[in-house]
Each structure stands twice: as C-alpha cells, then as structure tokens.
Amino acid sequence: MSEQKSLSGKIALVTGGSRGIGRETALALGQRGADVVITYRAQEEAAQQTVTELEAQGVRAQALQVDLTGTAELDRLVDAFQAILTDWGRQNFDILVNNAGVLRLATFERVTEDDLTYNFQTNYMSVFFLTQKLMGIMADGGRIINLGSGTARIAFAPLVSYGPIKAAVQSLTLYLASFLGKRQITVNAVAPGGLDTDFNAGLFANMPQAPDYIASNTALGRVGQATDVSGVVAFLASDEAAFISGAIINIDGGYHL
C-alpha cells in the first residue's frame, strides 16, 4: 500500500477540526485515505469547508457541532458519532485526535478562577472523559494522539493557566498508553512550540514581539506552522508507528535548546 493511502479503511475523529492544527491534521489523515469526522464549536462555515476539502480527496467526511467546555455535551457527541459510524457500515473507529483547545492569556497575578476553570474544563477534562466514553467503540490496535504544548516544559508567563494543564494532558498520555497497551492501542502526544496559527492570534496581537522572540530562540530560526504538526500526527496514526506509545514529541524547531 502506498504511503499516500496508508490509512485507507480507517476512521478518524479529530476534535477542533475547523481550523489550525485540527484542520491540517484532518486533511493529512484524509490524504492518506482515512475517513474523517471533525468537531467544531462555532465556526460552521470553516468546518464545512474542511469537509468539502476532505471529500475532494475521495474520502468520507462529516462535521459535528459540540461545545467541549467540560462534559455536558459529550454524550450527545458520542451518540452522533456512533450514528455516523453506523451509516458508514462500522461499529468502531480507529483514530482519535484530541486537538480541541482554548487559550486565555494572563500573567500569574491576573489569572482568575474562571480563567483556570475554563482552560481546565476544555483542555483537560473534556479530553479525559471523551476518551473514556469512546474506548468502548475504538478498535483494538487503534491510535490516540493528544495535543500537548511546549509550554508544558518551558515557562512562558502569559500562558501560566494553559501550560500546566497541557502538562497534565501529557501525563495523562502516559497513563493511557499503559492502560490501553493490552489492546495494542497506542497513545502519544505532540507538543508544538510557537505556531503561526489563529489559535495564537491573540497572543501575537498582544505581544507583537513574540514571533521574533520565538524565531530568535529556535534552532531552525522560524515560527512553526500547523502543517509542521499535522504530518507528525498522521505518522503516529499509521502502522509505521505501531511500536511508539507513551511518547511526547516536541515539535518546536529546537526552541530553547
């Protein structure tokens, strides 16, 4: 089987697939032959554009609206996803990419309880419980890829309510890899550095010097792009990565080496 169609017959769920890393990951999986379901919270037009581009690659695709702030809508998401699987002639799926996330900027002395709760509910709690709810319908030998962050290991003051929660996601990755290994399900995380995506638009708007600072402290001398991450995620979803589990892969161009 060619590398380009190495995921033919697989079904993937990518949360937050309307923009940024999620969108590029969905397209990378589709390019390799996977059928893809994406979720989005508010950007319906962008989500449908991603679906259109996936279908143009010759794969099946659908978008599901869900608010992943906490757990209130997880059962509805799982039910809708199972209905799609049934329509596609499957009872299970193969690839889960826990990508959806939020970002609130504030230095330590300005972080509010609401900021921390919002970040925790979306960036950790929904990841934990969505994965838990989907394990009954993930095929043995499946793949889980979590989105961590370079700020889990390198402190960056405006992300004090974000980086430690991503560190928790990366720790969860290890626990899940241990727990699910008996089913030959691999669980890994990618930890991007500073990327030029709309997710970081607020940060770059508030700190115009940030892109130059990131580039000047990066071995490869540039800010990253979503496509720098999506190819690695697609690799981790492939058979070639079948013996990689519990890994945290830094994708930061050599930031602060």
- Give residue 200's pLDDT: 67
pLDDT at 21 over 60: yes
Q: Where are the domains of the chain?
A: 3-251
Q: What are phi and psi of 244, to 5 degrees?
A: -110, 115
Poorest-pLDDT segment among 1-5, 27-31, 59-63, 127-131:
1-5
| Structure tokens belonging to residue 198 | 């709309």
User: Are 37 and 80 within 8 A, CB to CB?
Assistant: no
Please name the fold of domain 3-251: Rossmann fold (3.40.50)
pLDDT at 2 over 50: no
pLDDT at 130 over 80: yes
Q: How far apart are CA 88 and CA 40, in angstroms?
A: 21
With cut-offs at 50, 70 and 90, classify the pLDDT of residue 256. Answer: confident
Residues involved in catalysis: 162
pLDDT at 138 over 50: yes
pLDDT at 178 over 90: yes
E strands, 99-218, where?
A: 138-147, 186-192
Q: How far apart are CA 50 and CA 157, in angstroms?
A: 34
- Region 133-160: mean pLDDT is 94
- Give residue 105's pLDDT: 85
User: Are 198 and 190 within 8 A, CB to CB?
Assistant: no
Question: For residue 78, which of 136, 122, 35 has the smallest C-alpha distance?
Answer: 136
3-state secondary structure of 7: coil
Task: Quote the mean pLDDT of the chain.
Answer: 93
| Structure confidence by residue, pLDDT tens digits, 197-245 | 767 666 777 778 888 888 898 999 998 899 999 999 999 999 999 999 9
Percent of the chain with pLDDT over 90: 81
Residue with tokens 């991603």: 50
Poorest-pLDDT segment among 32-41, 170-179, 221-230:
221-230
CB atoms within 10 A of CB 5: 14
Residue with tokens 């989105």: 147
Cross-strand pairs, 38: 14, 63
Question: For residue 7, which of 93, 133, 88 has the smallest C-alpha distance?
Answer: 93
- Give residue 46's pLDDT: 96
pLDDT at 98 over 70: yes
Helix (H) or strand (E) holding 35: strand 35-40
Q: How far apart are CA 70 and CA 122, in angstroms?
A: 6
Q: What are phi and psi of 80, to 5 degrees?
A: -65, -40
With cut-offs at 50, 70 and 90, classify the pLDDT of residue 121. Answer: very high
pLDDT at 143 over 60: yes
Q: How far apart are CA 168 and CA 126, in angstroms?
A: 13
